[in-house]
Amino acid sequence: MNNKFESITRDLAKETLNKEVVLDSAYIDGNWEVIESSSISHNGIDKHALYDPSTGDVIATTRLCTKAHVDAAANAASQAILSWSQTTVSERASYLNAIADAMEQKFNQLVGLSVLNNGKPIAEAKMDADDAIACYRYYANLIAAQTTWTEVSTDESSVRLLKTFAPVGICALIVPWNFPMVTTSWKLAAALAAGCTVILKPSEVTLLPELLLGNILSAIGLPKGVVNILPGAAEVGAAMTSHPLIDKVSFTGSNGVGEKVMAQAAKDVKDISLELGGKSAIVIRADADLDMACDIISGGIFTNAGQMCSATSRLLVHHDIADALYQKLKEYTQNIHISAGFDPNTQMGPLVSQQQLNQVHKYFNIATEEKLDCLIGGQILDRSGYFASPTIYTNVPMDSCLWTEEIFGPVLVSRTFKDDAEAIQLANNSKFGLAATVVSADEKAALEMVLQIKAGHLWINEQQILFAQAGWGGFKQSGIGRELGEDGLSAYQKSKHVILPSQ
């Protein structure tokens, strides 16, 4: 077993929480500022609880920010951008590499906090930390290689046209609870590389890894006000997206909230990036290897307990192999080890919260009412914590909400198809267009198929591997814009063109 796993325990996570995580505070202008009071919760207690999803126990309480903290953070970011936007590319790259170095030094602590607060299996939390570190390094290298000025050829010999890039300004970054560290790095690394200053709102459900990030930013000496971290709920997000000092909003989350973010940002015509929902398809052609297909199907829906916007939650299988695939997939799913994230044998952990468990339970009840064919699962597990069974429904009607709506849990719905044309039609028959997977022995045929599927990120015979170099984003209601890759940097830049006389 990797040594990085051996020392990651619940005790380490709790020790890190008790000794290193700053609670009841917001990170503003390079300092932790105590939150004196926050919105009163429904039970009258001026505290926000954080939970261990594997037990349902409270692991910590903290206070959440209010609109006043958004004003303070925006003012700090506004002051900081005057100098930060003028730093050299090499200076910004140095800070990004320093963040990556510090995260490597805190690797076990970050992974432990993610397992404790999010419920992820250790193996998945480790991949998250690795991916986040790689993202900071990628943008350090990318910005260092970007040409400061480029001469653009023109038809007019009398002038020269030069092109350069400027930071878009002060950015509000709102990240979700399903991938702490990862989604933050996608947004924060690109924003800092571009020369922007930032207000970051991590999800109030999974605050712990992002709160440790504040310590890291102080430790590396990042100039004050460049990054501000506000633990807050919807009130804080709304104040950020509508704040007059904010130039850009980057939001990852549900479509319902995304629509509100878009409306709030429209008032001042803010630049906006939205990474929203998905109901992605996985197509199993008749020539597919069934063992490989089951492995890829399982990874696409049961990783992170299905709490992925890219989850390939609609299975399309050629009717000639459907019975054989379903039988093998059922056996495969029966053998998934479901337990707490700190158990090194865990393959699927709990859902992140009681609210998310209730959401999945709602769809189980709908499936029962609709008398859907349940191949396996369909139950909330009778144990402490927020555990749902990995679930597969077959022959699901296309008008069922289980087929059309994003469930965000370990729930797979399936239909058969007779040929590639029908598979493509079914894959595209969704209001979303984020991702898709095709499994086939014929790579050429699979490639022809994915090029006709309206999705932003596609895999052929592969798990949902992501690289910082590959842009991320979708079509239709899956969002606006792209993250990662060169597109991710461009999202935080504005091009500037200068016309000069010819030399």
Inform me whether the pLDDT recorded for 485 exceeds 70. yes
pLDDT for residue 450: 97
- Span of 6-10, 144-148, 149-153, 224-228 with lowest mean pLDDT: 149-153
| Residue 309 known to be catalytic | yes
| Predicted confidence (pLDDT) at residue 396 exceeds the cutoff of 70 | yes
Distance CA 124, CA 111 (A): 9
Q: SS3 letters for 50-93? A: EEECCCCEEEEEECCCCHHHHHHHHHHHHHHHHHHCCCCHHHHH
Judge contact between 278 and 311, C-beta under 8 A. Answer: yes
User: What are the tens digits of pLDDT across the range 47-67?
Assistant: 999 999 999 999 999 999 999
Active-site residue (options: 65, 309, 406, 483): 309
Task: State the DSSP code for 194.
Answer: H
Residue type, 17: L
- Cα angle 297, 303, 304 (rounded to 5 degrees) comes to 155
Over 70: is that where the pLDDT of 18 sits?
yes
Predicted local confidence at residue 43, as pLDDT: 47
What does the pLDDT read at residue 1?
37
Q: What is the pLDDT of residue 150?
A: 77
Per-residue pLDDT reduced to its tens digit, 121-149: 999 999 999 999 999 999 999 998 887 77
Q: What percent of the chain has pLDDT over 90?
A: 89
Report whether pLDDT(4) > 70: no
**Distance between CA 76 and CA 78 in Å, rounded?**
5
Q: If you write DSSP's letter for every residue of 376-442 in order, what string do you get? A: E--SB-SSSSS-B--EEEES--TTSHHHHS---SSEEEEEEESSHHHHHHHHH-SSEESEEEEE-S-
Q: What is the pLDDT of residue 159?
A: 80
Q: What is the 3-state secondary structure (H, E, C) of 16-48?
A: HHHHCCCCCEEEECCEEEECCCCCCCCCCCCCE
Mean pLDDT (the chain) is: 94
Q: How does residue 6 score in pLDDT terms, banded at 50, 70 and 90? A: low
Read off the pLDDT of residues 358-394 as tens digits, 9 standing for 90 and up. Answer: 999 999 999 999 999 999 999 999 999 999 999 999 9
Question: Who's near 313: CB < 8 A, 6+ residues apart?
Answer: 279, 280, 300, 301, 306, 406, 407, 411, 412, 413
Count the neighbouring beta carbons within 10 Å of the beta carbon of residue 426: 18
Amino acid in position 271: D
Q: Where in the chain do CATH 3.40.309.10 domains reside? A: 281-467
Q: Is the pLDDT of residue 494 over 70?
A: yes
Return the pLDDT at 38.
53
* pLDDT tens sequence across 100-122: 999 999 999 999 999 999 999 99
Dihedral over Cα of 52, 57, 60, 66: its sign:
positive
Structure tokens at 201: 């709102």
Phi-psi group of 183: left, alpha or beta (phi > 0 → left; psi -120 to 50 → alpha; rest → beta): alpha
Which residues partner with 435 through β-bridges?
Answer: 457
Q: How many CB atoms lie within 10 A of CB 13?
A: 25
Catalytic annotation, pick one of 275, 294, 406, 483: 275
Residue pLDDT, tens place only, 247-306: 999 999 999 999 999 999 999 999 999 999 999 999 999 999 999 999 999 999 999 999
- pLDDT per position as a tens digit, 170-182: 999 999 999 989 9
Question: How confident is the model over 210-215, as a mean pLDDT?
Answer: 95
Residue 45: per-residue pLDDT: 53
Q: What is the distance between the alpha carbons of residues 423 and 317, in angstroms, rounded to a whole number?
A: 8
Q: What is the pLDDT of residue 46?
A: 74
The pLDDT of residue 192 is 98
Cα atoms in the Cβ-side hemisphere of radius 13 Å centred on 53 = 33
Q: Looking at the chain, which residues constitute the CATH 3.40.605.10 domain(s)? A: 3-276+481-496
Does the pLDDT value for residue 40 go beyond 50?
A: no
Q: How much is the pLDDT for 2?
A: 44
Phi and psi at residue 407, to the nearest 5°:
-90, -35
Choosing among 3.30.160.60, 3.20.20.20, 3.40.309.10, 3.40.50.620, the CATH entry for 281-467 is: 3.40.309.10
Question: In the prediction, which pLDDT does 146 show?
Answer: 82
Secondary structure element (H or E) that encloses residue 116, with its range: helix 107-118
Question: Would you report the helix, strand and coil content of the chain in percent, each value rounded to 5?
Answer: 40, 20, 40
Q: How far apart are CA 132 and CA 181, in angstroms?
A: 6
The beta strands (E) that lie in 125-196 are given as 150-152, 159-167, 170-174
What pLDDT digit, counting tens, does each position of 192-208 carry?
A: 999 999 999 999 999 99
Percent of the chain with pLDDT over 70: 97
Residue 397 near residue 371, CB atoms below 8 Å? no
Tell which CATH architecture fits domain 3-276+481-496.
3-Layer(aba) Sandwich (3.40)
Spatial CA neighbour of 212 closest among 70, 139, 58, 106? 106
Higher local confidence (pLDDT), 502 or 72: 72
Check residue 145 and give its pLDDT: 87
pLDDT of 333 over the 80 cut: yes
Indicate the Cα dihedral angle 4, 7, 11, 14, nearest 10°.
-30
Position 502 scores a pLDDT of 79
Does 155 score more than 90 pLDDT?
no
Evaluate whether 197 touches 80 at the Cβ level (below 8 Å): yes
